[in-house]
Amino acid sequence: MSAEAPSTARPLDVDAVRQDFPILHQTLAGDRPLVYLDTAATAQKPRVVIDKVRECFEQYNSNVHRGIHQLGDRMTTEMEDAREKVRKLLGAAEADEIVFNSGTTMAINQVALGWARKMLGPGDEILVNEMEHHANLVPWQMAAKATGASLKYLPLTADGRLDVERLDACLTHKTKLLAVTGMSNVLGTINPIGLLAQRAHAVGAKILVDGAQSVPHQPVDVHQLGIDFLAFSGHKFYAPTGVGVLYAKREILEAMDPVFGGGHMIREVFRDHATWADIPAKFEAGTAPFIEIVGLGAAIDYVRNLDWDAIAAWEHELSIYAHRRMAEIPDLVVHGPGVEHKGSILSFSLPDVHSHDLSDLLDRQGIAVRAGHHCTMPLHERLGLAATTRASLAFYNTKSEIDVLVEGIEAARKVFQRRRPAASSPHQPLTTNH
Q: How many whole angstroms separate alpha carbon 284 and alpha carbon 276?
A: 11
Judge whether 375 counts as a catalytic residue.
yes
Q: How many whole angstroms separate alpha carbon 368 and alpha carbon 237?
A: 18
Residue 18 has phi, psi (to 5 degrees) of: -60, -30
Question: What angle do the packed helices 290-306 and 70-90 form, to 10 degrees?
Answer: 40
Q: How many whole angstroms separate alpha carbon 170 and alpha carbon 152?
A: 7
Q: How many whole angstroms separate alpha carbon 362 and alpha carbon 431?
A: 12
- The catalytic residue among 14, 41, 320, 375 is 375
Question: Rg of the chain over CA atoms, in angstroms?
Answer: 23
Q: Is the separation of the CB atoms in 69 and 59 below 8 Å? A: no
Question: What separation in angstroms does the CA of 397 have from each of 172, 287, 370, 403, 422?
Answer: 43, 36, 16, 11, 39
Q: How many whole angstroms separate alpha carbon 40 and alpha carbon 84?
A: 25
Amino acid at 333: V
Q: 91-114: b or e for each residue (b if 16 or more CB lie within 10 Å)? A: ebeebbbbbbbbbbbbbbbbbbbb
User: Which residue numbers are catalytic?
Assistant: 375
